[in-house]
Amino acid sequence: MIICKSRDEIRKIGEAGQLVAQVLSKMKDLIKPGVTTEELDQFAEELILKSGATPAFKGYRGYPKSVCVEINECVVHGIPDSRRLKEGVFRF
C-alpha cells in the first residue's frame, strides 16, 4: 500500500534526513580506537536532543539506545555498551 504524504510531511522527512546526515558527519570525528560504543551513543543522543528532535531508535520496541553500533561479530542491532573500538577498518 502506498501512503501519500502531504507537503508538510515531506518537508519534515527532509529535515529529519538532514539532521541524521549532520549527526553522522559529526560522529565520524569521534570514531577512533579506545572510544566505547556507549560514548558514541551518548554523543549522538546529545546532538539529536540539542536540535529539538527525539532519537527514533530509543524506546522503539524496547530498544534501549539512540543508535545501533555493530562491531565485527555482531550482524545487526548492536546495542551500545562498554566495548571499546580497536584499531582497524571503520565503515560508516
Residue 73 lies in a domain: no
Residue 53 lies in a domain: yes
Q: Which domain holds residue 58?
A: 7-62
C-alpha cell recorded at residue 72: 565485527
Residue 18 lies in a domain: yes
From the list 53, 92, 47, 87, the residue with the least C-alpha distance to 69 is 92
Tally the domains of the chain: 1
Residue 52 lies in a domain: yes
Residue 35 lies in a domain: yes
Distance CA 47, CA 66 (A): 11
pLDDT in tens, the chain (92 residues): 999 999 999 999 999 999 999 999 999 999 999 999 999 999 999 999 999 999 998 999 999 999 988 787 666 778 899 989 888 766 66
